[in-house]
Amino acid sequence: MTETTSKPLVGKVALVTGGTSGIGKVTMEALCENGASVAFTGRRKQLGEEIEESLQDQGYKVIYLQSDLREISEVDQLIQDTVATLGSLDVAFNNAGVFDSDALFHEYDDSSWNDLIAANLSSVFYCMRAEIAYMLGNDGGVIVNNASIVGHRGSRRATPGYVASKHGVIGLTRQAALQYANAGIQVNSVSPGPTLTETQQPLFEQGPEAVANHLSSLNPQAAFVTPEEIANVVLYLASGAPDMLTGQDIAIDGGQLFKL
């Protein structure tokens, strides 16, 4: 652990949704390492409790809170529990979401659409609404939403629900940034490209050539984004970004978004 003077988030409380794996877990750990007290959610209770115990053993102030973010009452309770346990809410990383793929528009059924929108868009709105309501009475705060580069365009692989939900997350980011620009609440989003999380591990284990072949038609660098790279951007937005940086979506994709 680094010295306190080098930790920009000492005295701050952060909430990370989807914090038991991938981008959320790495970001949650980075926030802890930089001085924040952190509450995090995740679908797998046993795993969440194991991560909580491990980080507490390392001296970090962290709590795992199980919550179904598709349910308004549970989201509201999540914010209340975070504040009651850790004393505040200064930073929120709305990261939780799911991915579905390989469904054509005319074959995408109602259940898949409703489930995806509930998990990826409605949940973000519920979280933002509760976070903002608290921050308005707490001298402001920082909200970062996890979108995607397909929030800017279509995708041959992702479904209509996934693409629509990520466009929606960016829209919610911009709308909230506009409405609370003078209330001390900064709202931004990050849009990762293909990221090396657990779901990509089998491909990664095949070696650099397999990764390059998979990504070369998309990513100019023919490489995965790492969760650490995304966590570093979230950390910057949470601790070092200027006040005037709000309403922005930051693509972290090795130039993929702008490749013809």
Which of helix, strand or coil describes residue 132? Answer: helix
Mean pLDDT of 214-224: 72
Greater confidence (216 vs 6) lies with 6
Q: Is the per-residue pLDDT at 202 higher than 90?
A: no
Helices (H) and strands (E) counted in the chain, each on its own, are 9, 7
What CA–CA distance (Å, rounded) separates 191 from 139?
27
pLDDT-derived band of residue 138, with 50, 70 and 90 as boundaries? very high
Strands 62-64 and 91-94: unpaired
Confidence of residue 147 (pLDDT cuts 50, 70, 90): very high
pLDDT one-digit tens code per residue, 56-113: 999 999 999 999 999 999 999 999 999 999 999 999 999 999 988 888 999 999 999 9
Which has more confidence, 58 or 224?
Answer: 58
- The single-letter code of the amino acid at 18 is G
Whether 120 and 98 have beta carbons less than 8 Å apart is answered as yes
Phi then psi for residue 191, to 5 deg, are -125, 95
Q: How many residues does the chain have?
A: 260
Whole-number average pLDDT of the chain:
92
Active-site entry in 60, 64, 162, 180:
162
Residues 17/96, Cβ–Cβ less than 8 Å:
yes
Q: What pLDDT is attached to residue 115? A: 97
Is residue 165 within 8 A of residue 117, CB to CB? The reply is: yes
Residue 187 has pLDDT above 90, yes or no: yes
**β-bridge partners, 187:** 143
Query: From CA 20, how far away is CA 46, in angstroms rounded?
Result: 10
Please report the pLDDT score of residue 1 as a whole number: 44
The pLDDT assigned to 105 comes to 94
Domains of the chain: 10-258 (3.40.50.720)
What amino acid is encoded at 172 in this protein? L
Q: What is the pTM of this model?
A: 0.92
Q: What pLDDT is attached to residue 254?
A: 85
pLDDT (mean) for 140-152: 96
Question: How far is 249 from 149, CA to CA, in rounded Å?
Answer: 9
Give the whole-angstrom CA distance, residue 145 versus residue 240: 17
Q: Which residue has the higher pLDDT, 240 or 125?
A: 125
- Which structure tokens are listed for 189? 């989003």
- State the pLDDT confidence band at 157, using cuts at 50, 70 and 90: confident
Active site residue 162: yes
DSSP single-letter state for residue 87? S
